[in-house]
Amino acid sequence: MKELSSDISGLLVVVSAPSGTGKTTICKEVLKIVPELRFSISCTTREPRKGEKDGRDYHFISREEFEERISGGDFIEWAENHGHLYGTLKKDVESLVKEGHDVLFDVDPRGAKKLKSQYNNAVFVFILPPSIDILKERLKKRGSEKDAVMKARFERAFKEIREVVWYDYAIFNDIIDESVDVLKSIYKAEKNRRERLTKRITNIIG
């Protein structure tokens, strides 16, 4: 895997959550209200769900193409989830940052860890369900998968939740609007970290 250049200036916000927690819903809302923040569109070999669009939600590609891209070193990170491959394209992230945007990532904890090892300025946010029973309900409500797949996602969710311990922030997704508000607030607060404003501060105090 290729490294992104370390002189990255944009803020990278990395969000993880067990499947069904509400991460996609929250991220979409935040992206609507924070124009400086752009979504890192991952590649995946899974089929699009109802309502998902190629090039907006994911780049839906074949396993063959994905494997070629792995060989070509195109991904910053990639992982296999539920039999499908998911990966973050280096080129896409680099061009977003070059254009002056901040970038929101929706990746699993393995991908997040890889990003953490490369960008120590990135911010890591874990979204939690209000309870395990509610997580089950939300997965069912989404209703996009067969029972066996849903069961596998659910078992995996248990394991993933333990990863919360190394993230910077945790959001309990009790009420969607509040979760959106908290994620937006995290972004705003991080943008105003004193060390991110060094240039502007230096201009004033010399």
Interatomic CA distance for residues 143 and 80, integer angstroms: 22
Instruction: Using the minimum distance from each CB to ligand ADP, give the nearer residue, 23 or 69.
Output: 23
The answer to whether 175 contacts ligand ADP (rule: CB under 6 A) is yes
Q: In this structure, what token pair is assigned to residue 118?
A: 């490369």
The answer to whether 17 contacts ligand ADP (rule: CB under 6 A) is yes
Minimum distance, C-beta of residue 140 to ligand ADP, in the bound complex (Å): 9
Interatomic CA distance for residues 141 and 148, integer angstroms: 15
Interatomic CA distance for residues 59 and 201, integer angstroms: 40
Residue 56 site contact among ligand ADP, ligand 5GP, none (CB < 5 to 8 Å, cut-off depends on kind): none
Instruction: Using the minimum distance from each CB to ligand 5GP, give the nearer residue, 151 or 188.
Output: 151
Residue 129 site contact among ligand 5GP, ligand ADP, none (CB < 5 to 8 Å, cut-off depends on kind): none
Round to the nearest angstrom and report the end-to-end CA distance of the chain. 41
Interatomic CA distance for residues 177 and 183, integer angstroms: 10
Task: Name residues contacting ligand 5GP, limited to 78-107 (CB under 6 A).
Answer: 78-79, 81, 86-88, 106-107
The answer to whether 110 contacts ligand 5GP (rule: CB under 6 A) is yes
Q: Which of 14, 15, 22, 150 binds ligand ADP (CB under 6 A)?
A: 22
> Closest by alpha carbon to 13, among 182, 138, 200, 205?
182
- Per-position x/- string for 3-32, each x denoting binding to ligand 5GP as judged by CB under 6 A, each - no binding: -------------x--x-------------
Interatomic CA distance for residues 151 and 159, integer angstroms: 13
> What is each CA distance from 145 to 14, 52, 135, 163, in whole angstroms?
26, 14, 15, 25
Chain residues in the site for ligand 5GP (CB under 6 A): 16, 19, 42, 46, 77-79, 81, 86-88, 106-108, 110-111
